[in-house]
Structure 1
């Protein structure tokens, strides 16, 4: 018979998922939208359109338009991608991927405009009847809803309104600017993303700038921007400096980040460093089984 007086075993801590990078408090509270993996899928479709191979990706077309309609509920993005891929009027061979009609999109647009009005009313109520934190929270909800379900310009403007809130902490400003940078990157506005990241970096480097966690996450955003600008040597150095502290799964997966780090550093690292930092690097090895290319 078991001894009921025996001390209970301490709970076993869950194993850290090494494929996600490092845990981060600010990452956990980051907006889920826009989803950058969806952005990559959209890019695959537009690239196929220009290459004349779009018809071979019907399954991906259906997946992307379904995600925009069901997950994002974003009629503006739906129309934008539909026009970009198929032109106007939409050809009959696109019907298999498109589940929403013009009337459906118009109804969704009205619905989302009503939701935006409701959220803006909550901001006004917070300004009149609550404190600064409640105003910030209400503005965050507007910005994140816009990033998910409204047009690009509306989302970018919503984040500017959030940044204009009085007494917004430096940490919250950095968070807002990183999220705004993601919106700009999602819509391929590289110069706007550059501006957002530069503004966030300035705040982080001021006397009362962001905490260690946010500084590390901002480094990842800066490294990826260098990659977008094809500044490969600077990108290689920046990416490599981030892999041990990566905590930005909202902008790309850790596995993809490792791949970017490997490819850029293959061009610039000397062989002994390549062996130590890449081939035998613990961060690289931690995702090797999950990324065949690694």
Structure 2
């Protein structure tokens, strides 16, 4: 989904990362890949990305333009010389803030040319000259975007932890709210949709992280994460009726029907909208690795919601409600029942589904017994230690 915000733009490196991802997707047509290739080389030329350009040529089987490569390497050497001269001048003739600014400019140059290791090294050097918590946080955001560009989840985890520890020293609300979106994107990228939904919903009225993605894309992610994470009542309150979501949901193809049809139990409409969204999910670099998992979870939510209304229901009636064949539904439900995702059983002879929802009071009783046994065991172990 492309950004539609005119006053704020996505980080060019994250735009580039998405283009590189699409170049590696088999289903993207060759004519689109040709345009993507041209876009990638244009960015490489503009930002002197010599090292990455060589890697892409190897990864995608492109012919290396030796003249372009030589030109990029020459420009990098010239720029680094200028930056080093400014650092030396600042150290010899100016104050600490000017030295920090010169170091930061060099770090951002390495970010620009796509040299991850040197970017991290120089961001760390800049941090050593940084006193203000807000400026330290900005350095963490630069590091986080490096992590999202390469999908380095270890780097992202460490950076989020570092940001949270910095906030214990202080920090403003604007940066704290931005961090929630970064953490939400990380959670969604690592299949923690429940936590992602919670963080995105917390940020919905304070969203300013246009460097990651547009507001439309943010709403898209929020709705997708919420549908498989929230129960009906909070989904209605926080998503279906949320003014912030209602203002943009109509711009995103199929999302309005996907969300509202599920809540209103219009399962045939829901399934049609769901099919329309699959390409958007499959062609999203953060969601694509979880495509099959997400599809299963959404279907589980829909089937569970339908079956909650019945003690028993015919397969034919359920198939009609979802607009699918009885055979398809039989295979689908069999897999979900075997995996323990649905509390029901199929009477194949009668063509009926019988629900066997677990008794909530009985489940609570069993949990209490289990916890009581655990507590008694702990007390016995403790008494033996005290006796000794």
Whether TM exceeds 0.5 here: the answer is yes
Q: Quick one: distance in 1 between partners of 2:253 and 2:245? A: 12
Tell me the equivalent position of 1:76.
Answer: 51
* Structure 1 position 184 matched with structure 2 position 147: yes
Larger Rg: 2
- The CA deviation string for residues 142-179 of structure 1, in whole angstroms up to 9 with x for no partner, is 122211124221222221111121x4311111100111
Tell me the equivalent position of 1:40.
Answer: 18
Shift of residue 289, structure 1, vs aligned partner:
4.2
Shift of residue 109, structure 1, vs aligned partner:
1.1
SS of corresponding position for 1:217: helix
Q: Quick one: distance in 2 between partners of 1:52 and 1:255? A: 23
Tell me the equivalent position of 1:14.
Answer: none
Q: Which has the higher contact order (CA 8 A, sep 6+)?
A: 1
- Decide whether the 8 Å contact of 1:177 with 1:200 is kept in 2: yes
- The CA deviation string for residues 91-125 of structure 1, in whole angstroms up to 9 with x for no partner, is xxx45xxxx61232122112112202211221221
- Decide whether the 8 Å contact of 1:217 with 1:248 is kept in 2: yes
Tell me the equivalent position of 1:146.
Answer: 110
- Structure-to-structure mapping, 1:251-290, within 5 angstroms: 251-290=212-251
Paired residues, number = 252
Q: Quick one: distance in 1 between partners of 2:254 and 2:14? A: 20
- Decide whether the 8 Å contact of 1:46 with 1:84 is kept in 2: no
Tell me the equivalent position of 1:3.
Answer: none
Tell me the equivalent position of 2:132.
Answer: 169
- Decide whether the 8 Å contact of 1:174 with 1:200 is kept in 2: yes
SS of corresponding position for 1:47: coil
Q: 2:77 aligns with which of 100, 113, 116?
A: 113
When the two structures are superposed, what TM-score results if normalisation uses the length of structure 2?
0.60
Tell me the equivalent position of 2:42.
Answer: 66
**Worse overlay, 273-282 or 170-179:** 273-282
Q: 2:178 aligns with which of 195, 206, 217?
A: 217
- Decide whether the 8 Å contact of 1:236 with 1:264 is kept in 2: yes
CA RMSD of aligned residues (A): 2.5
Where do 4+ consecutive residues of structure 1 move more than 6 Å?
none
When the two structures are superposed, what TM-score results if normalisation uses the length of structure 1?
0.78
* Structure 1 position 243 matched with structure 2 position 204: yes
